[in-house]
Amino acid sequence: MNVPAAWYLVLAAVLFGIGSFGLLTRRSALIIFMCLELLLNAVNLTFVTFARTLRDIGGQAAVFFVMVVAAAEVTVGLGIVVTVFRRRSSTSVDELSEMKG
């Protein structure tokens, strides 16, 4: 069964909307990182959909690089969150005002 490309794009738009809403409304650093990952996965789904539709490997190559950047972001972000949680016992972004330069 062939699923139309529009369905994938609608799913990507819904995922992007949920991620954007969570990114703008939540205050926990862990939730913000999860919403950021949701945004990146929505973009990846769009890249793969267009790569399949256009029969081009460029979109899939872009997805590979986005996944590498997302893995690095998770590693660094989780390290920062764990360090902040050990010192403050909270991951709220509002309480991190002293990290300003």
- The string of pLDDT tens digits covering residues 7-38 is 999 999 999 999 999 999 988 888 888 999 99
The full set of domain ranges for the chain reads: 5-90
Tell me how far apart the alpha carbons of residues 61 and 47 are, in angstroms, rounded to a whole number.
9
Sign of CA dihedral 36, 41, 44, 50: negative
Provide the CATH number for the domain formed by 5-90 in this structure. 1.10.287.3510
- The string of pLDDT tens digits covering residues 33-77 is 899 999 999 999 999 999 999 999 999 999 999 999 989 988 998
Which one is predicted more confidently, 82 or 6? 6
β-strand partners of 28:
92
What's the pTM?
Answer: 0.82
- Provide the token pair at 54: 């256009």
